[in-house]
Amino acid sequence: MEQEFSGEVFEWRGPAPYYFVAVPERESDALRVAASVASYGWGMLPVRARIGDTEWKTSLWPKDGGYLVPLKDAVRKPEQLDVGDVVDVLLMVEGLPSHEQQQPPPAARAKSAASPAERASAPRPKVSREPIATEQLKIVPANEASWEDLQAVFGTTGDTSRCWCQRFRMLPKESWASEGPEELAARLRDQTACGDRSADKTTGLIAYYDGEPVGWCAVAPRADHPRLLRNNRVPWEGRNEDKTDLTVWAVTCFVTRAGYRRRGVSHALARATVDFARERGARALEGYPDFVDGGSVGTLATFAAAGFTEVSHPGLRRAVLRIDF
C-alpha cells in the first residue's frame, strides 16, 4: 500500500528537537485502517518513506486521529530540509497482507470522498478526460478575474486550500500552520488584485474553459519570493545570479481544478506566462520543474513545450528551465 502527499516540515521541541511532516486527513483515513493489520503496538505503523533521493524505514506516529512522519537528521540534511519547507512524501506501508497492498480498504476509500456539504456548495466539475486545446481556453491576468473564480480553482480541501500559493513567499519561521489558511488566502488575494482591472500589478493567470475557472499559474519577479531566494539548491546551485534582479521572473505554481487535470491546462498556462512576463518588463523567465512528481511546480514537459530550455540541473530530480527575451 502506497500513499503520496505533500506536507510542511515542522519542529516539536521536547527533551530533544524532533521534525515531522503531517499526513493529510484523507491519507490518514486509509492508514488508520491499515494500522489495524500492520501496527506493532501503540498505534505505530511501520513504513518505508521517501523524500527526494532519500529513502528510509521508520514508523508513523499517531496524533489527534492522524499520523506524523518523523524526519531524522539523516533525512533532513541530505535533502537540505528546514522548518517550513513543503516536501513531497511517498509512504510504503510494511507488513500488510498482499491483497491489502493493492488499494486502500473500502471504508478508507469511502472516507476519501468529499462531504455532502462540499459537494453541494461547489460547482460540479466536468469528468471528461478529453484533452483541452489551447484555443478552447480563455486565459486572463488574475486581476481580470473574480476572487470567487480563483477560490473555485483552489477548492476547499487538500494542500491547495492550505497553501494558497504561498510556499515560496513566506518569510523565515512562517509556515502553513503558523499563518493559517485564512491569512494565506488573504495574501494571495492582495497579490493578485482579483477583480481590480485597474491594478498595475498582479501575480498570475487564470484559465477558463466553457466559462468555468479551471486553472491557475503564479508568475512574478523571482526576487518577490523570500523562500526561493534562500533556497541554496534550486535555483542557485552552480549559477552566478543576482538574487535581487527584478527583471528575472519565475513561474512557481500551477493549480488545476479537480475534473480538468491531465488535460493540457497547465501546458496552456505555461505558454501564456511567456507573453505575460515579457509584456511586464521581464528580460528572462524561469521555471523549476520536478522530474519525479511535477506537483505544483510543474513538470519538465510542461516547460519544454512552452519553449523553456534547461540551464541548470541541481540534483537528480530538479532542473532550472529558462527563456531569455
According to DSSP, residue 227 is labeled H
Strand locations in the chain, DSSP E?
Answer: 2-13, 17-22, 45-51, 54-63, 66-71, 86-93, 137-141, 204-209, 212-221, 248-256, 284-287, 309-312, 320-324
So where are the chain's domains? Answer: 2-112, 118-324
Which CATH number is 118-324 given? 3.40.630.30
Give the whole-number percent of the chain exceeding pLDDT 70.
83
pLDDT category of residue 14 using cuts at 50, 70 and 90: low
Among 270, 265, 249, 28, which Cα is nearest to 132's? Answer: 265
**What are the angstrom distances between the C-alpha of 266 and each of 25, 69, 84, 100, 298?**
26, 30, 26, 34, 8
Order of strands across the sheet with 248-256? Answer: 137-141, 204-209, 212-221, 248-256, 284-287, 320-324, 309-312
**What are the angstrom distances between the C-alpha of 238 and each of 196, 311, 318, 319?**
40, 10, 13, 11
Report DSSP letters for 72-89, one per residue: -HHHHHHHT--TT-EEEE
Q: What is the mean pLDDT of residues 2-14?
A: 80
Q: What is the mean pLDDT of residues 151-156?
A: 92
Gyration radius of the chain over CA positions: 20
pLDDT higher at 280 or 176: 280
Mean pLDDT of the chain, nearest integer: 84
Q: For residue 163, with 0-12 CB atoms within 10 Å meaning exposed, 13-18 middle and 19 or more buried, which class applies?
A: buried
Residue 293's pLDDT is what? 62
Dig out the grid coordinates for 180 from the structure. Answer: 493559517
pLDDT of 186-237, one tens digit each? 999 999 999 999 999 999 999 999 999 999 999 999 999 999 998 778 899 9
pLDDT of 127-139, one tens digit each? 567 899 999 999 9
- Asked, colleague to colleague, whether 2-112 and 118-324 share their fold, the answer is no
- pLDDT of 36 > 70? The answer is no
Across 90-104, 140-154, 277-291, 297-311, least confident range: 90-104
Across 92-106, 107-121, 270-284, least confident range: 107-121
State yes or no: cis peptide before 235, omega within 30 of 0: yes
Residue 318's pLDDT is what? 87
Per the CB < 8 A criterion, the answer to whether 227 and 236 are in contact is: no
CATH H-level, domain 2-112: superfamily: AF2212/PG0164-like (2.40.30.100)
Among 296, 213, 283, which Cα is nearest to 241's? Answer: 283
Report DSSP letters for 54-120, one per residue: EEEEEEEEEETTEEEEEE-HHHHHHHT--TT-EEEEEEEESS--HHHHHS--HHHHHHTSPPHHHHH
Per the CB < 8 A criterion, the answer to whether 177 and 165 are in contact is: no
DSSP helix/strand/coil, 313: coil
DSSP helix/strand/coil, 220: strand
Displacement of CA 69 from its chain's centroid (Å): 18
Residue 116's pLDDT is what? 38
According to DSSP, residue 24 is labeled P
Q: How many residues does the chain have?
A: 325
